[in-house]
Structure 1
Amino acid sequence: MRVHLVDAEKFVYVPPAAAHNARQVLIKPNLGYPAGPPVTVGMSVLGEVIAGIRRVNGSTEIWIVEGVCHRLEAAVIARKLGLDALLTEGVHFLDADNLPCKPYPNRAKVPQRFAELWAPQLLEEVDCRISVGALKRTVLKDAVLMSCALKNLYGLFPRERYRARSPHARGQLHRPDVHRVICDVYTTIGILFDGAVVDGTQKFISKDWQPDIGTPAPCGKVIWGDDLLAVDREACRLAGEGMPAYLELIDWAQAAAGG
């Protein structure tokens, strides 16, 4: 699958085929913290994703869905980040934590940890799904974790079900190994997604596990395509911070399954 790597100021989004005749499109952006890019995605990139959908389908309903990882409510964070300017006619914001959920079966031949994961029913009700992630590096247990298009999907899982010590986070999805859980995320809901965009205008570098405390560095690119894994690989290559273990684990699992 082709992956596009373009200068951020020249980013023109062409949505996946599923968006062209869709009645409803779901966009999952990384807006989980009350801090601007590169902790979260930039409104210019998210706005161009919406504009690209509108160019091919002027009548579809667009649902921007995010579940935050903070004590502040999702609507408050969205407003602080400037999302209101993008909520024009037919474009709506929904807090993932307030949506009805259902279990999604793990399609992996051998799940890493979860045989199923709970996520919003809306994922199955829409006709097209697009992940819009930031480009972020954290470090967990001395291993690099890149948050791009696939890790971005964590915000769809209900915190009440997957919380651990903190009620604001999804700690159960980091145990015992976040990379193996990300494999399960891919084979439950990741495979439903039709497109991915990573805002690499800047990359975010954390010296530890904290995904909102760190240092920005310029990259000047946007990475996008129809395949989450291919987009993640290119985004990680661009960042130059090392390839996360989940990409290799998914490759091994697909090879073992003959996929």
Structure 2
Amino acid sequence: MPVLAPVVTTLSDRFHYAPPAAAQQARRILVKPNLGYPVGPPATVSLAVLKEVLRGLRESSPSAEILIVEGVCSNVAFDTIMAKVGVPQLLSAGMQLLNADELELAEYSNRSPSPVRFTTMWAPKLLQEVDCCLSVSALKRTQLKGAPLISASLKNLYGLFPRAKYKARSANSRGQLHRPSVPLVLQDVYSTLGHYFAGGVVDCTEKFVSRDWQPDRGNGISIGQVIYGDDLLTVDRTACLVGQEDIPDYITALESQRRS
């Protein structure tokens, strides 16, 4: 059985975010939304869900500095994408929108006893300088090498890794994080950055489904739910069940590793 942690499933139109304990009266909170493409939901998280997360954080921590950090995966500029999807209109006093590719970096150790590929990974130093990190993602299914790839709160962390260090053939993406495969590298991502995240939110208002590998071109299937909790793996597992998707191998492997 997987490690159990509190998880909430609620109707999208009744979503009222209750932040994890780490966000209560925090001084600095980092929010990583899934907004890396110049398109709206369900390819990216809906503004309604992100707005409710920010409201809940502000209510629980009235004086906190809330840092919204994303790294885009497109040839479109960060500022252009954020304006197109409407993020600036959500910002109020004490909130900042930051480009992950422009932040100071730190080298993070992989805590896994058996790293898949990366024994260390580079990501913003800011993760170490806040009281609480949260992943706010969409639920997405793409196809890679003929197999489905489920993206939710854990896969959302890909946007934190600098393209300058992890690019391959395209400077716009993080091709190095696709080798030997995304499901395998996700195990390194979790064992490197996962422990910094006190919670995750998965927007399942619509499930995004792509016919191929493209994470910004596909169709939406109505589900009408939002999943949130204080453990990324449990949140993602629940989102898969709600979205009628098979539990990804990377989640099963990480749960097994965590129990050992």
Please say if residues 32 and 157 of structure 2, whose CA atoms lie closer than 8 Å, have aligned partners that are also in contact: yes
What letter corresponds to residue 229 of structure 1 in structure 2?
A: L
**Gapped runs of 5+ residues in structure 1?**
none
Pick aligned residue for 2:37 from 33, 38, 44: 33
Count the aligned residue pairs.
256
Q: 1:168 and 1:186 mapped to 2: Cα distance? A: 23
Q: CA deviation at 1:76?
A: 1.1
Q: CA deviation at 1:52?
A: 0.2
Q: Which residue of 2 aligns with 1:83?
A: 87
- The 5 Å alignment of 1:181-200 reads 181-200=185-204
Pick aligned residue for 1:214 from 203, 218, 223: 218
**Gapped runs of 5+ residues in structure 2?**
none
Q: 2:24 and 2:245 mapped to 1: Cα distance? A: 35
Q: Which residue of 1 aligns with 2:132?
A: 128
Pick aligned residue for 2:96 from 92, 99, 103: 92
What letter corresponds to residue 152 of structure 1 in structure 2?
A: N
- What percentage of aligned pairs have identical amino acids? 52
* Residue 42 (1) aligns with residue 46 (2): yes
Q: CA deviation at 1:59?
A: 0.3
* Residue 72 (1) aligns with residue 76 (2): yes
* Residue 166 (1) aligns with residue 170 (2): yes
Q: Which residue of 1 aligns with 2:241?
A: 237
What letter corresponds to residue 122 of structure 1 in structure 2?
A: L
Pick aligned residue for 1:115 from 119, 122, 134: 119
Q: CA deviation at 1:251?
A: 2.3
The one-character-per-residue Cα deviations of 1:98-137 (angstroms, maximum 9, x if unpaired) are: 0010110000111111001100000000000000000100
Q: CA deviation at 1:243?
A: 1.9
User: Normalising by the residue count of structure 2, what TM-score does the alignment of the two structures yield?
Assistant: 0.97
What letter corresponds to residue 137 of structure 2 in structure 1?
A: G
Q: CA deviation at 1:144?
A: 1.4
Q: 3-state DSSP class of the match of 2:92?
A: coil
Please say if residues 118 and 158 of structure 1, whose CA atoms lie closer than 8 Å, have aligned partners that are also in contact: yes
Q: 1:129 and 1:47 mapped to 2: Cα distance? A: 16
Q: CA deviation at 1:150?
A: 0.2
Q: 3-state DSSP class of the match of 1:233?
A: helix
Note the aligned Cα RMSD (angstroms): 0.8
